[in-house]
Structure 1
Amino acid sequence: MTVVRSLLLFALAALAEIGGAWLVWQGWREHRGLWWIAAGVLALGAYGFVATFQPDPHFGRILAAYGGVFVAGSLVWGIVMDGFRPDRWDLAGAALCLLGVAVIMYAPRG
């Protein structure tokens, strides 16, 4: 159950961080206005709290692993929200990052 909880927290963190960054991007680059930017800043702040609920107590490990989740999640966000079509190298890179997440977070430790 701990691994499932951790994976759900990583997904929630990705939603908050990537979504927040996208909202800021939309507000500023696409001229949607300050409300979009403000919503993005709130989402990015929420991301900072989500990581604290991970079961592992090591900040460096959590953030290092989350980096891989961020890479893969960003590609998924681009597909869903912006019509981005990753090529095989994007997908291979994301798979390598997710493999890194698994090793960093879930490898047996003595």
Structure 2
Amino acid sequence: MSEEAKLTSPNTTPSPFKNLTGAAIAATLATGLYAFTNMVANKLATAPLQTTNTLANRLSTLVRTILLALGTGITMIFAVIALGLVLLTIKQVFTAIFSKPDLSE
């Protein structure tokens, strides 16, 4: 039997425990990234630019904006993943509670 045949079926759904574990990991990462992005934003806001060159000012503003945008975007991605996994867990629990048993067997 080949290695491909031993893999689990893609139709299997993960258990609510695995969903909540993933949500906890994603929420922890989102919280850490939020704190880091907030710290970077405060440091960049309080640090004045040391040059009078217009091009250098524009480039430093661009770099600062890109850093904050990436940090915020990655934070929001992890937060949305955590929220989605919690909602998936709620859906799975309600489906398991309110599903009709199959009596055809």
TM-score, structure 1 normalization: 0.37
TM-score, structure 2 normalization: 0.38
> Which structure would you say has the larger Rg?
2
Task: Please state which structure has a larger fraction of its residues in helix.
Answer: 1
